Amino acid sequence: MSKAWRQLVFWWVMGVAVSWYAIVGAVTVAYQIFSSEPVTLSIGIGLTVISLIGLSRAAKRGSAWGLIPSTVITIALILGLVVDATLLGLGMTIPGFY
């Protein structure tokens, strides 16, 4: 397994984990640990952006066959980013939203 392929697989795994955290974990699992909604949502946004950057850089060096999983994971990451940013924005503008 080449170095480019290992990096791509690493970012696939990270992308799946981070997208799960951003969509589901920020309001369930992580909220029980931090108990501060803005903190968990901000962590989700930060991790999602880092994963998107890492995945895009690794996908450039990967093979053409790696493009399909990379695209699916990128869509999931963008969905997680939109969910977290929307919840964070609503919580900051509407009093008592959290």
Rounded Cα distance, 69 and 82, in Å:
20
What is the structure's pLDDT at 37? 81
CA separation, residue 15 to residues 21, 33, 35, 97 (Å): 10, 22, 24, 28
Tell me the pLDDT tens digit for each residue of 26-77.
677 777 777 778 888 888 889 999 999 999 888 888 777 888 888 899 999 9
Could you tell me which of 26, 68, 69 has the C-alpha nearest to residue 46? 26
Predicted pLDDT of residue 98: 64
pLDDT band at 92 (very low <50, low <70, confident <90, very high): confident
Compute the distance between CA of residue 23 and CA of residue 3 in angstroms, rounded to an integer. Answer: 30
